[in-house]
């Protein structure tokens, strides 16, 4: 009986362990690196494109955009009650490039977030769906993918939440041109927050954040797969895989965002409540109570229209680019000639 070796290329040629293992592990590491870089790059590019919408939305959520200035007392244009008013105030008082304030911190946060979330989701999905995507009934398959997305969300949030807090505080800084900013940059924000509020200050609002990010990941990932299947069958999309992936990713993200948006607003309010030595809320429940007293249910949905314009294209690009990376790796020599498993 011929000796069997566990390492072989896809052409069936087998090699002894000591000859094949180092090269196989090297190929797998390279494939995983491409996977991480692809997801991170997609996140960084998409976030930079929608950064102005993100800043205006955060100022609406936190209420800092509606404050009147000493320079223009009583000017209704500076009331900051709408997206256009807030954008006008930013450009007039801080300059056009201020629309991207905090984007450096955002990229530092988004790159590892998107890199980890896509690769982590795929790895966990492989464990929750050992029979493959076609090996389960529709509802069971959806539930297994949702479990993988929820688990990936927890992993991502635990490692990257301090960057989210600092990004929110940098973005909410409304110092005019020539004035001293509250934070000089990302690392200054981390240092000051840790000094004045302790490590727990970097994780303020994480509980409510998980209430939003866990269902978002749990729903958006499997919903994206569902929409790709349905949209791909429509006449206009049958011959365009790129358009199918873009539309499916955008629609899935917007549908999911409408469900979890209030948790994002609460998280933003908690993140800025400790700035300038002032702790406005005693906790998540106190924040929810105060927000409801201020503006009712509508207060939890401030900036949702901007967020839809932001999340739709952002997630569409992320899903599409990540699918491109997986297709590239699966069709490359890494899979066709070596024992690297396909990225699914």
CATH entry, 7-59+101-336, from 1.50.40.10, 3.10.129.10, 1.10.260.40, 3.40.190.10: 1.50.40.10
Q: Which long-range contacts (CB under 8 A, 24 or more apart) does 14-20 make?
A: 20/339
Average pLDDT estimate for 283-298: 85
277 pLDDT tier (thresholds 50, 70, 90): very low
Average pLDDT estimate for 36-41: 80
Average pLDDT estimate for 9-37: 57
Average pLDDT estimate for 301-307: 83
Strand partners, 15: 7
Could you give the percent of the chain with pLDDT greater than 90? 10
Average pLDDT estimate for 260-265: 86
pLDDT on residue 186: 79
For 159-184, how does the pLDDT look when each residue is reduced to its tens digit (9 = 90+)? 888 888 887 788 777 666 666 677 88
**Residue-averaged pLDDT of the chain:** 77
Q: Is pLDDT above 80 for 344?
A: no
Upper half-sphere CA count for residue 250 (Cβ side, 13 Å): 16
Distance (Å, whole) CA 24 – CA 8: 9
| Count of C-beta atoms within a 10 Å radius of residue 81 | 13
Average pLDDT estimate for 17-33: 58
pTM passes above 0.75: no
pLDDT on residue 203: 87
Q: Calculate helix-pair angle for 103-128, 206-231, nearest 10 degrees.
A: 70
For 173-216, how does the pLDDT look when each residue is reduced to its tens digit (9 = 90+)? 766 666 667 788 778 888 888 888 888 888 887 887 888 889 98
Q: Are 100 and 52 in contact (CB under 8 A)?
A: yes
pLDDT on residue 206: 85
| Count of C-beta atoms within a 10 Å radius of residue 258 | 14
338 pLDDT tier (thresholds 50, 70, 90): low
HEC string of the chain equals: CCCCCCEECCCCCEECHHHHHHHHHHHHHHHHHHHHHHHHHHHHHHHHHCHHHHHHHHHHHHCHHHCCCCCCCCCHHHCCCCHHHHHHHHHHHHCHHHHHCCHHHHHHHHHHHHHHHHHHHHHHHHHHCCCCCCCCCHHHHHHHHHHHHHHHHHHHHHHHHHHHHHHHHHHCCCCCCCCCCCCCCHHHHHHHHHHHHCHHHHHCCHHHHHHHHHHHHHHHHHHHHHHHHHHCCCHHHCCCHHHHHHHHHHHHHHHHHHHHHHHHHHHHHHHHCCHHHCCCCCCHHHHHHHHHHHHHHHHHHCCHHHHHHHHHHHHHHHHHHHHHHHHHHHHCHHHHCCCCCCCC
Distance (Å, whole) CA 222 – CA 249: 10
pLDDT on residue 75: 43
274 pLDDT tier (thresholds 50, 70, 90): low
Which distant-in-sequence residues (6+ apart) come within 8 Å of 177 by Cβ? 93, 94, 95, 98
Distance (Å, whole) CA 27 – CA 25: 5
| Count of C-beta atoms within a 10 Å radius of residue 271 | 28
118 pLDDT tier (thresholds 50, 70, 90): confident
Q: What are the residue boundaries of the structural domains of the chain, listed by start? A: 7-59+101-336
148 pLDDT tier (thresholds 50, 70, 90): very high
145 pLDDT tier (thresholds 50, 70, 90): very high
The top-scoring range by mean pLDDT among 40-54, 55-69, 130-144, 280-294 is: 130-144
């Amino acid at each position: 009986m011929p000796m069997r070796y566990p390492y072989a290329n896809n052409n069936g040629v087998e090699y002894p362990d000591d000859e094949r293992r180092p090269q196989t592990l090297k190929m797998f590491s390279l494939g995983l690196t491409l996977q991480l870089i692809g997801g991170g790059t997609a996140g960084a590019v998409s976030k930079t494109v929608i950064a102005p919408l993100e800043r205006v939305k955060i100022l609406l959520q936190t209420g800092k955009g509606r404050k009147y200035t000493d320079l223009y007392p009583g000017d209704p244009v500076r009331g900051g009650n709408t997206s256009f008013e807030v954008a006008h105030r930013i450009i007039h008082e801080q300059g056009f490039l201020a629309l991207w304030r905090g984007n450096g911190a955002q990229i530092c946060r988004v790159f590892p977030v998107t890199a980890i979330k896509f690769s982590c989701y795929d790895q966990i999905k492989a464990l929750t769906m050992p029979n493959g995507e076609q090996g389960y009934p529709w509802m069971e398959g959806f539930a297994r993918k949702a479990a993988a997305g929820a688990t990936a969300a927890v992993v991502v949030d635990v490692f990257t939440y301090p960057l989210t807090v600092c990004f929110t505080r940098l973005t909410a800084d409304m110092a005019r041109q020539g004035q001293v900013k509250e934070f000089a940059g990302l690392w200054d924000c981390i240092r000051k927050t840790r000094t004045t509020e302790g490590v727990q200050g970097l994780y303020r609002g994480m509980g409510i954040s998980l209430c939003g990010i866990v269902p978002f990941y749990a729903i958006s990932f499997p919903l994206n797969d569902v929409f790709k299947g349905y949209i791909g069958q429509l006449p206009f999309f049958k011959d365009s895989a790129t358009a199918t992936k873009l539309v499916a990713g955008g629609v899935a993200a917007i549908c999911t965002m409408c469900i979890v948006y209030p948790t994002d607003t609460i998280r933003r309010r908690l993140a800025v409540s400790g700035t300038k030595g002032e702790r406005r809320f005693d906790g998540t429940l106190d924040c929810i109570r105060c927000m409801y007293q201020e503006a009712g249910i509508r207060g939890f949905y401030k900036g949702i229209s901007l967020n839809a314009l932001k999340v739709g294209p952002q997630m569409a690009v992320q899903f599409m680019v990540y699918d491109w990376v997986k297709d590239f790796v699966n069709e490359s020599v890494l899979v066709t000639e070596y024992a690297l498993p396909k990225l699914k």
